[in-house]
């Protein structure tokens, strides 16, 4: 995940696959993913800003979505409590597959234009 994150800015999907293969509870999975993504993204933003790879407007946009991140965590926490363990992990796989299809579609569209 860290290598892909450094090279392409997308270490999350590989880390999801790795974590999914471990025998962890859905609660452990959620906590680890939230921590990984939060630390990964929050640690990357200042370095990108200091090297000039993002500007003030992007930094303001990043800060403006933080409340939605917290809201999504709270909603996810409530949903995870209601879903059975294996079903929750299947939902994660479905979302990951959807994200992969979306990225593939975007790449194919970009290649065609």
**Which two tokens mark 111?**
């290649």
pLDDT in tens, 26-52: 778 788 888 887 887 778 878 888 888
State pTM to two decimals.
Answer: 0.56
| DSSP character at residue 108 | H
Mean pLDDT of the chain: 78
pLDDT higher than threshold 60 for residue 6: no
In terms of Cβ atoms closer than 10 Å to its own Cβ (0-12, 13-18, 19+), residue 100 is: exposed
Decide if 85 contacts 27 (C-beta within 8 A): no
């Amino acid at each position: 995940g860290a290598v892909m994150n450094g090279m392409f800015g997308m270490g999350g999907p590989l880390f999801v696959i790795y974590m999914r293969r471990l025998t962890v509870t859905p609660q452990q999975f959620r906590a680890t993913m939230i921590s990984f993504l939060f630390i990964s993204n929050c640690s990357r933003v200042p370095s990108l800003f200091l090297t000039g790879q993002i500007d003030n407007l992007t930094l303001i946009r990043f800060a403006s979505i933080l409340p939605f991140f917290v809201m999504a965590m709270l909603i996810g926490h409530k949903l995870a409590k209601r879903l059975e363990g294996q079903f929750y992990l299947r939902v994660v796989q479905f979302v990951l597959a959807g994200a992969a299809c979306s990225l593939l579609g975007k790449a194919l569209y970009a290649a065609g234009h």
